[in-house]
A and B are shown apart, each in its own frame.
Chain A
Amino acid sequence: MNDTNTQRRQFLKTSVGAAAVAIAPGMLLFDMAHGKSEPVSGKVRWGMLIDTANCADGCNDCVTACNRENGLSGGLSATDSQWIRKIELKDMRTGRELALPMMCQHCEHPPCVDVCPTGASFKRADGIVLVDKHLCIGCRYCMMACPYKARSFVHEPLNDQNPDVPRGRGTVESCTMCVHRVDNGQQPACAEACPNKSILFGDLNDPESEISRKIRSVASTQVRADLGLNTGVRYQGL
């Protein structure tokens, strides 16, 4: 009787051990395959602070990174998509020159969303302004409404898109703040690529985030602040 009991105990011990080993990698696999099941929160507002003083004249790294990430051709003709542009400004009175990247400003009150007749143009709870291409009919009202000229229309059929960035003919598109990367806990491609770290990406609603602390301490402006759109992208040293 005693002998059987010890055998039984031994069996239970080993089988429990085996089960633990089997469960641990299984759980890991399950977590990895699960993805993100929570909707994005309105508590977060993604934004950027661009330091124009550090933005080097002639450097185009943010633009090339954006093109590579999102599968844009990089062409500059009227019918080529441009999600981010490098702009050079000169004050004719003082002769001061500066360069800065210009893209969708991810407004709190986006005019593109106001004018969209199908609801394709929308603002996500976390402040990222996007086009739902399943709903877009390509009317291009949003392109006309945008004061930043941030949107492009796809004129030609495309192929070999990035599996994470679907794009197609007949729809309007613009900077997505690399939403597929942000949802994955990464930085937008432009912010990551900037050699001078002059694009600071973060949560404007979190008072402890790096971007919040910086906009509290340095002067920053919104482009066309007079329109009252409350842009998510701010510029320093403009």
Chain B
Amino acid sequence: MLKLIAVLMALYFSSFANAEESKFVPKLDIGKGGQCVDEPQWMRKNHMHLLKHQRDETVHEGIREEKHSLKNCIECHASTKDDSVIAREDSFCVGCHKYEAVKIDCFECHSGIRKSAWLQRNAK
């Protein structure tokens, strides 16, 4: 009987913890999502290093490997609703950076829109 109570208590508290987490962690629109580079926790911590490394290789040496390219990130993580990683408060890039109070200037120059959507919009 004691065991049962302990299990029930554990369940109760774990559900409480989950509710707590969902209240404070930003809810993101991850677009198509999926894991193509590394696991999400590692990516949360290290994506900026990958992007910065790739950016120098691409601009100066013309290496256009898609795996770590910003364009390829956007391809999967742009919202399925508006094809963007920056359009809304809960968009993939904006959501976290707002929560962490990190101001990024990538999108002052780079497009935050999926290439296919951009082409469709700018077709003449």
**Which of B63, B115, B124 is the most central at the interface, judged by chain A CB atoms within 10 Å of its CB?**
B63
**Whole-angstrom distance between the Cβ of A71 and the nearest chain B Cβ:** 8
Tally of B interface residues using CB under 8 Å: 26
Q: Find chain A residues with CB under 8 A from B59 CB.
A: 130, 132, 134
- A34-B65 contact given A68-B124, A132-B59, A134-B59, CB 8 Å threshold: yes
- A37: Cβ under 8 A from any B Cβ: yes
Q: For the complex, give the distance between the alpha carbons of A160 and B119 in Å.
A: 11
Q: Find chain A residues with CB under 8 A from B56 CB.
A: 134
Please report which residues of chain B, range 43-59, place their CB below 8 angstroms from some CB of chain A when the two chains form the complex.
55-57, 59
Select which of A125, A161, A162, A171 is within 8 A of B61 by beta carbon. Answer: A125
Contact present for A126 and B62 (CB under 8 Å): yes
Q: For the complex, give the distance between the alpha carbons of A37 and B62 in Å.
A: 8
Contact present for B69 and A122 (CB under 8 Å): no
Contact present for B63 and A161 (CB under 8 Å): no
Tally of A interface residues using CB under 8 Å: 31
Q: For the complex, give the distance between the alpha carbons of A166 and B111 in Å.
A: 7
- Chain B residues engaging chain A, CB cutoff 8 angstroms: 55-57, 59-67, 69, 71, 74, 108-111, 113-115, 118, 121-122, 124
Known: A35-B64, A168-B109. 14 other contacts (CB 8 A): A33-B66, A37-B65, A38-B63, A40-B62, A124-B62, A126-B62, A132-B60, A134-B55, A158-B108, A161-B110, A163-B115, A166-B109, A168-B108, A179-B62
- Chain A residues engaging chain B, CB cutoff 8 angstroms: 33-40, 68, 122, 124-126, 130, 132-134, 157-158, 160-164, 166-169, 171, 179, 183
